[in-house]
Amino acid sequence: MHMTISEVFDDLYDHYERPEHEGPDDMLGTLMRTILSQNTTRSNTDRAFGRLLDRFDGDWDRMRRADAEAIVDAIEVGGLARQKTPWIQSILEELHEERGEYSLEFLRDCDPEEARAYLSNFKGVGPKTARFTLMEAAGMPFFPMDTHILRICKRLDWIDESLSGTKAHEAMEPRIPEGEHYAAHIVLVRHGRELCHARHPECELCPILEQCPHGEDQTSSQTPCHPNEPNT
């Protein structure tokens, strides 16, 4: 039986429970944290962001004026610190110059596409970072795709195997049911971590196996332990 995308998500929510968006979060802090999360784990992101806030008492102006080495030192636990430091300081510099304050709260009143385009102008803010910030901090209808989500969407044949980056986001975003962007993002990340691993997905335990061409291939190609015995 072929299911709609919405029905597939319902099956995932039944299995994992439906994630609820906890409400608005500080927009600039979320952007900085998301930049720090690039190419590292969640726990290293938390440590890098925590150390950055502690080091400067959460004062964005002090971070803007700080010696770059002090920021590198604070965030190096998150990796790519020499790349991320100028991104962080240039965002603060631009906000200071253009708006005279360290805040992105005005984006809440913008059209989501305008808000996405504004964030994307900053160095270090790619399609995933801009979308994640606006989804997470403001509940905007964006669908950021990390490596787990990209892999699962391809396995389910929801998007073409050749797509990545902006094109993958643009192909998938309109297919997400209205009001489900946050829950769909979180549940697919969880599915990628718990069952749909990059190597050796646990398809036989998967709640959406019947909807997944990759999973059907995987399970039908498994040979029995004793190939000479009938497969009962």
DSSP string, 185-219: HHHHHHHHHHTS-SSS--GGG-TTGGG-HHHHHHH
Which of 165, 172, 97, 119 has the alpha carbon at shortest distance from 142? 172
Nearer to ligand SF4, 87 or 143 (CB): 143
Helix 127-138 and helix 112-120, axial crossing angle in degrees, nearest 10: 130
Nearest approach in angstroms of CB 220 to ligand SF4 is 11
* CA–CA gap between residue 9 and residue 180 (Å, rounded): 9
* Residue 128 bears catalytic tag: yes
Nearest-Å Rg of the Cα atoms of the chain is 21
Told to check if 31 binds ligand SF4 by CB under 6 A, we report: no
Residue nearest to ligand SF4 (CB): 215
Nearer to ligand SF4, 62 or 193 (CB): 193
**Token pair for 36:** 């720090």
Q: Is the Cβ–Cβ distance between 55 and 64 less than 8 Å? A: no
Nearest approach in angstroms of CB 8 to ligand SF4 is 9
**Token pair for 144:** 């950021």
Nearer to ligand SF4, 138 or 196 (CB): 196
Nearest approach in angstroms of CB 155 to ligand SF4 is 4
* CA–CA gap between residue 5 and residue 156 (Å, rounded): 10
- Among the listed residues 84, 128, 154, 167, the single catalytic one is 128
Nearest approach in angstroms of CB 203 to ligand SF4 is 3
* CA–CA gap between residue 211 and residue 4 (Å, rounded): 9
For ligand SF4, the binding residues in 124-163 under the rule CB under 6 A are 152, 155-156
Nearer to ligand SF4, 121 or 221 (CB): 221
Place of tokens 């440590």: 47
For ligand SF4, the binding residues in 164-223 under the rule CB under 6 A are 195-196, 201-203, 206, 208-209, 212, 214-215
Nearest approach in angstroms of CB 201 to ligand SF4 is 4
Point out which residues bind ligand SF4 (CB under 6 A).
152, 155-156, 195-196, 201-203, 206, 208-209, 212, 214-215
